[in-house]
Amino acid sequence: MKYRKILHLDLDAFFCSVEEKFNPDLQGKPFATGGSPDGRGVVTSCSYAARRSGIKAAMPMRIAIRKCPKLLIVQSHYHTYLAESKKIMTILHNLSPLVEQISIDEAFLDISDLLEAALTIAHRIQSRIYKELGLPSSIGIASNKLVAKIATNIAKVKYRGENAPMAILEVLPGEEAKFLSALPVEEMWGIGLKTVPYLEKLGLITIGDIASANMDILEKHFGKFAKILHQRARGIDIRPVGEDDGIKSISNEITFSRDSNNSKELTNTIKNLSEKVGNRLRKRRLCGFTVRLKVRWPNFETHTRQLTLTQPTNQGSVIYQNALKLFHQIWKAGKPVRLIGICVVNLTPIFQQLSLWDKTYEKESRLLEAIDTLKQRFGRGVIQKGVSTFNYKNDKN
């Protein structure tokens, strides 16, 4: 049997490592990126010196300051993180035939077709990213995505040094179930924080407990998810490493069946289009920095305006607020409009750090997912109340 060779790469404290790179004064100091300690801001990334004081990503900033009064709060530079992320992905594409980026600082690589040992390739990738970009990373190696990703986490957790771990951990083919068995269930990729207490109530504390659990009991509690859960707990995962789909923008536009100069109708249309674009971004686990508005007058004259946000978004409400701002820059009351389009460009995969650990964000995302499902189930009517007389035309990408 031929085993696959899968690598999972994850940058070490990515945002903070980038900040240190451009501001070496920060090196060795306890600092964090994230929101303000006055409001409900959370830590998005923290330096290793900060971690030694017990600070973690997703911790409310005011608690972080209490734990470490000397903590420096550094403003996030998302555009710089994105630029560094692109350079990392270019290095990966140069060294591996198949790359799937899953967040701004994480990717899977399928190197099954390369003759060299996986460990050799992992060392080469890690040292090239460090030499060329000055950024530390850790790598997990296994015969599948699930185990490779968990291996990276465990390698980082086990590291006891002062600085970035720059760890590499290989789980050999055939050892997957053994590697997972003693780990607590929350280490299992795909198990949400909410599911953990539920599993514990069933006496399933370790991944090994799930692997040896009675299938009937799992089915009773997890339905059709039981089989996958059972397989994953035994280290089985056949998902392929998928290539990036190369999407550059997400847009939706509407040509009115009759030109409209009704402010409320126009505003509603912008809102609906924004929600639609947000929905499509979330479905693809993307967010974008730039909101672009297109407006066409009845004489076919077309204008576009765009603005770039400091933080990328996939939320309809944020897209809407900004698109509306742009609209009011070019529209004067009473002027008829033939077409409106909303587009989000400068796309990036969602920031894993936030979506996994920031509770508020997690809650909001889950709510949005629920709404997305509802819209799918009940069709367009639910989201497009009051604009049913328009013709819809979606851009391909």
155 binds Mg ion (CB under 5 A): no
- Among residues 106, 176, 253, 275, the one annotated as catalytic is 106
DSSP secondary structure string for all residues of 135-190: --EEEEEESSHHHHHHHHHHHHHH--SSS----EEE--TT-HHHHHHTSBGGGSTT
302 to 341: interface string for Mg ion, x by CB under 5 A: ----------------------------------------
Beta carbon of residue 15, minimum distance to Mg ion (angstroms, whole number):
9
Distance of alpha carbon 225 from alpha carbon 216, whole angstroms = 12
Beta carbon of residue 11, minimum distance to Mg ion (angstroms, whole number):
5
Beta carbon of residue 14, minimum distance to Mg ion (angstroms, whole number):
5
Cα–Cα–Cα angle for 386, 392, 397, nearest 5°?
Answer: 130
Our CB check for Mg ion shows the closer of 19 and 105 to be 105
Our CB check for Mg ion shows the closer of 10 and 100 to be 10
Whether 106 is a known active-site residue: answer: yes
Which residues, 6 to 45, sit near Mg ion by CB under 5 A? 10-11, 14
Beta carbon of residue 45, minimum distance to Mg ion (angstroms, whole number):
8
HSE of 225 in the Cβ direction (CA atoms, 13 Å)? 6
Beta carbon of residue 384, minimum distance to Mg ion (angstroms, whole number):
39
Our CB check for Mg ion shows the closer of 141 and 254 to be 141
Our CB check for Mg ion shows the closer of 357 and 392 to be 357
DSSP secondary structure string for all residues of 352-383: HHHHHH-HHHHHHHHHHHHHHHHHHHH-GGGT
Distance of alpha carbon 210 from alpha carbon 61, whole angstroms = 36
Distance of alpha carbon 26 from alpha carbon 9, whole angstroms = 25
Our CB check for Mg ion shows the closer of 168 and 318 to be 168
Contact (Cβ atoms closer than 8 angstroms) between residue 128 and residue 136: no
81 to 120: interface string for Mg ion, x by CB under 5 A: ------------------------x---------------
Q: Tell me how far apart the terminal alpha carbons of the chain are, to the nearest angstrom.
A: 40
Active-site annotation, residues: 106
Residues that bind Mg ion (CB under 5 A): 10-11, 14, 105
